[in-house]
Chain A
Amino acid sequence: MRSETLTPQRAGAAAAAFSVVAALAAVLGFLLIQGWPALSAGLGELPSHAENMWQLAGPLVFGSVLVAAIAMLFALPVALGTALYLVFYAPKRVATVLGGALDLLAAVPSVVYGLWGIMVLAPALAGPYAWLNENLGWIPFFAGEASATGRTALTAALVLAVMVLPLTASVIRSALALVPEASIEGAYALGATRWETIKLAALPFARRSIVAGSMLGLGRALGETMAVAMVLSPTPFLIGIKLLTSENPNTVAAYLAQTFPESHGIETSALIALGLALFAITCAVNSLARWITREKTK
């Protein structure tokens, strides 16, 4: 190693690195400054006739977490299956095509997902929802009166699942690709079938990355905006787990996009404060994901 003297180049590079710290501090700082006035605001000043910030934020945070969690419930098995298929089963050409498909899914703009969700997916799901509601209505999630439009929390979650799938799949795929060849060859040598090999050698090795990948997907789903805003039929201040009805809790991000363009004054502050809450939640989720992966490398 060369001696580390403080050259201008080194200082410049360090400053660039520091800009990351500065940028995050600025995000936090400016959102705090602009959002602060809303914390003490009361009835009449806040959007949606909310009595205070907590009444506004609580149901929205609940909605965000609910929809994102259900999205991961769908996305994780498919992402895991796809990643395993890609790494252990797929012929090279199929893998290339599939990898391209994943890239494309990841890159489709969320506003296009929104258009697709409201015009294609939701109407197509209304029928199945009515069936689920009729036959499995005893499950609390499927209770209530099924929406005839299909624009429910479940549809929003399904759109989100498609959107976060590529991210989760790619995290898991990278981890699976790192499984030591020796473990795999060893398992094969012992006469294990492909599935046994995966179960015994690959999955334990990639376990943390699978968890981390789903956390990252969850973080992405929590912050996803336009698709949910366009697809979901929200009811203000609602906290509920019925997924098939017309009345659904809204998400923080979707509410922001719907309300912000026509807000002014203290309403804007309230929305920025909500953005701060969303920032905090996604940061926590992502930090947890990183912590899980970092633990492994130590």
Chain B
Amino acid sequence: MEGYRVAGSLIALTGSLFLFLGALGVWRMPDVYNRMQTGTKSTTLGSILTLFGLGVYQPEWMGQMLILMLFIAVTNPISSHALARAAHHTGVPLTQKSVMDELEEDVPLPTERVLEETLSEGEEQ
């Protein structure tokens, strides 16, 4: 009787552990691109697991949970992609340990002057 509730809550606990690990990566990683990777990939898995677990816990809510899961699975990679492109266009430098940057061959990183203008506008006001 209570078995599916315990199973669903354990799935939800796993998912929220992934959410926590994603936030830990956002805090610990060295540059924007690494932060973006943990901040969107790990939290996508985490939130899908959490929603699925809560749907197992409360089976009559499963339909709305499925809609939310589908929505997160569609939108999170899009915003990750847009953010990575925007960060590369504003010229945020990669960390020293980076091995390669293939987008730079097509779109070179802006120079330091443009970087200062874009990132710290309003400093002089």
Partners in one complex: no
